[in-house]
Amino acid sequence: MSATAILCVDDELMVLHSLRDQISRYFGDRCQCELAESAAEALEVIEELEQNNIKLLIIVSDWLMPNLRGDEFLIQVHQRFPESIKILLTGQAESAAIDRARQQANLFSHIPKPWDETTLIATLKSGLEAMYE
């Protein structure tokens, strides 16, 4: 098992499966891909990763989710894991939310839905390169 992970958070299971398939095709065994259908579930996954000494490299989060919006979730995660790369993948984010995530969560990128695999992988690669500079 890889000691690094990418976490995808979206309340639509079909979106999560697409992300997992695209990320797995490129990253394969180099990095595990974790999925969560809500911010609350994502926080549980993060705890589990931390307990298993798996470094959370990237979080790809939807914005419009029940209970906790993506920008608020990323801000919470940033307080504990400031070095992780945060990406909003959404078709409905308000520009104020994106700006707030940039300022308070060090948002790396915003990818609009629908996305294409080339853009997603290029953004992930760029994020990882920025992390290790």
Domain boundaries, the chain: 4-131
Q: What is the mean pLDDT of the chain?
A: 94
CA distance 80 to 38: 18
pLDDT in tens, 1-58: 469 999 999 999 999 999 999 999 999 888 999 999 999 999 999 999 999 999 999 9
pLDDT for the residue numbered 38: 97
The residues facing 88 across adjacent strands are: 61, 110
Top CATH class of 4-131 equals alpha beta
Nearest to 56 by CA among 71, 45, 67, 66: 45
The one-letter code for the residue type at 129 is E
CA 75 – CA 97 distance, rounded (Å)? 11
* Band of residue 132 on the pLDDT scale cut at 50, 70, 90: confident
